[in-house]
Every structure is written in structure tokens, then in C-alpha cells.
Amino acid sequence: MTREFVGERGRLNEPSIQAVGLTKRYGSFTALDSLNLNVEGSKCVGFLGPNGAGKTTTLKLFTDLIRASSGEALVNGVNVHTRKKKALESVGTLIETPEIYPSLTPREALSMVAETRGVPAAERKKRIEDVVTEVRMDEWVDKRVGKFSKGMKQRINIAAALLSDPRIFLLDEPSTGLDPRGMSEVRDIVKSLKGKQRLIFMSSHLLSEVTDICDEVAMIDHGKLLVYDTLSNVTSRFSGGENIVEVGFLRPLDGGVNGRIASGVPGVTSAERVDDRTLRIRFNGGASTQERLLSNLVGMNLGVISYKPASSALEDVYLSLIKDTK
């Protein structure tokens, strides 16, 4: 039917995941309530919600680790339950990862995974080296995992997910449980997975993490999807059209620059100094205004080096949405 059509028609080469009325009940308790979500393209989507919201449930349904009570989960248009092998062939996952045997080295552990995933024997050695490089663990590939920090182990788990060179990654709170350094390492790795025609769908209960890594956000609470949109549209939609970004600069800014931005760039309502290299800019409008704002700022030759939605604005949205569902 149509759902096959979606996949096969697909804007060719665009990875996609889709939930259609996806529901999971445990007895009379509904852990996931008729989720409809269509994510398509090479992008990173943060699946954000507090503990118990239904994130892991959703990811398990997408990998057929549990069975839906009703509805369907599709990957590239293919039903993950009825055609599991086909649906999951281009999916790498990090969901409830088992501990790696401490006496193994990453090379040994990854060889075993590569074998079970059906990576052809002739390609295994090269694939393992490639994925180990991608998670920046080259120096450790022949050391025993038992000596690794949790963050390093998690990077090896990500390497394992990369082995079959998937186009789609389903990551369940990849940085949770790590110390701050491990969290930041894992976030850097996830960021570096972006691009390369990959779709990353990553759950998190941390707004700051999603803001840092993702292009889009799907918020969930009590098993219900609250919103799915780009980070900037979510912020502006729920803040009366006003949007806030934080812009970082290479050099300290001169005193008059806020005024020049506030008066000279269309749509900007204020530009306030956070520190001598960071401005917090408020403007009216969504993604297209934001694009114009960024190109204007770059054109002013102030040395823009970073640009992100201010998490405090999104924090307000997150907290208000989650409060409303209680």
C-alpha cells in the first residue's frame, strides 16, 4: 500500500523513519500513545523528554526489540516488524548496549560484532579500522577494554553501530551515565557523525545536549508527542514569534556593535552582550529570518565563530510544554 510507496518512491537516497499511530501499552498503562512522526533527510533529530516519557519505548519499537500494541514503525518506508531484516539493514543502534568483555580489545570485540552483522570477512579489517578512527580510538584499538573509561567504552559501542556503515542511527541517551568529560567526548563523536548523508535520531532528557548537537527536536512526554520541528521554529512558535540566538565571536566586540546590529539588521529587536565575545540577539521570525540574520552578521566581518539558538528560550518552551501535560 501507500507506505511501501513512500519508501520506494522516497526522494531517493533520503533516509527516513516514520511512526504511524505507534502505540505501546503495558496492561492498562500507555507508554506510547499513537505516535505520528515522519523524519526524513540527512539531519540530527533530538528526541527530547523527561525520564519515563516514552523515549526508550519508541526506540525499541523502531528496532523491533518490543512489539507495538498498534500502529507501525517504518524505516525507509519498510515496516520494522513484518520485514525486520530489510528495514534494519541500514540502521545502526545504541540501545541498552551490553557491556563489552573487559578482556577483549576493541579490535576483537568489533570483529565479533562485524561477523554477526554479516560484514564480509574480506572487508572486516578495513571497516574496523575506519570505525575506530571515526570514534577517535585508533590508539586504543589493541588495548583491553577493561581499562577504558565509560566514555571510551561508549565510543566503542558507537563504533560497533557504525560497522555496517548505516545511513540511520538510533541512539538512546548515548551520553547518559558518563562523567562530564565522557559526555562531552560522546557528544563530539555524535556531532561528527552528522553529515555524510546520515539521519541521526537521538533521545535525550537534556535540553542543552539537544541544542548543542541537533538540528531538529521532537519533544515527548507521557507517551505523547508534543512538537516536532526545527530548533529555531520550536522556539519562535512558542515565544510569540520572538526568537533568540547566541552568537560567538573570534575577537572582543567593540562597544557600538550591539546598537549597529539592533538597528541595522532587519527583524532584530535587540542585541545584548553576554560577555565581550558573545551576543544574545532577539529577533522576530523563524528559519528564513534567521538565515538572513546570520548572513548579515557574517557580512559585518566581526568574526562570527558560533551561532546557536539560546537554550534558555528553548528551556522555557520545554518546561511549559512538559508542565502542560501533567
Ligand X SMILES: Nc1ncnc2c1ncn2[C@@H]1O[C@H](COP(=O)(O)OP(=O)(O)O)[C@@H](O)[C@H]1O
Q: Which three cell numbers stand for residue 223?
A: 507517551
Q: Which three cell numbers stand for residue 275?
A: 560577555
Closer residue to Mg ion in complex, CB, 55/124? 55
CB 265 → ligand X: shortest distance, Å?
Answer: 40
CB 84 → Mg ion: shortest distance, Å?
Answer: 22
Q: Which of Mg ion, ligand X, none does residue 285 bind to, with CB < 5 to 8 Å depending on kind? A: none
For residue 56, state whether it binds ligand X (rule: CB under 6 A). yes
Closer residue to ligand X in complex, CB, 58/211? 58
Q: Which residue matches cell numbers 557523525?
A: 193
CA distances 216 to 72, 183, 206, 227, 311, Å, are 22, 20, 14, 10, 13
CB 17 → Mg ion: shortest distance, Å?
Answer: 17
For residue 51, state whether it binds ligand X (rule: CB under 6 A). yes
For residue 101, state whether it binds ligand X (rule: CB under 6 A). no
Whole-number Å distance between alpha carbons of 294 and 290:
6
Quick one: which of 52, 102, 177, 299 contacts ligand X (CB under 6 A)?
A: 52
CA distances 278 to 191, 248, 310, Å, are 22, 5, 11
Tell me which residues in 40-79 interact with Mg ion (CB under 5 A): 55-56
Whole-number Å distance between alpha carbons of 74 and 210:
24
Whole-number Å distance between alpha carbons of 16 and 43:
10
Q: Which three cell numbers stand for residue 302?
A: 566581526
Q: Helix or strand or coil: residue 49?
A: coil
Q: Which of Mg ion, ligand X, none does residue 15 bind to, with CB < 5 to 8 Å depending on kind? A: none
Query: Rounded to 5 degrees, what are φ and ψ at 299?
Result: -65, -25
For residue 96, state whether it binds ligand X (rule: CB under 6 A). no
CB 51 → ligand X: shortest distance, Å?
Answer: 4
Q: Which of Mg ion, ligand X, none does residue 31 bind to, with CB < 5 to 8 Å depending on kind? A: ligand X
CB 70 → ligand X: shortest distance, Å?
Answer: 16
- Residues at the contact surface with Mg ion, assessed by CB under 5 A: 55-56
Binding-site ranges for ligand X (CB under 6 A) = 26, 29, 31, 49, 51-57
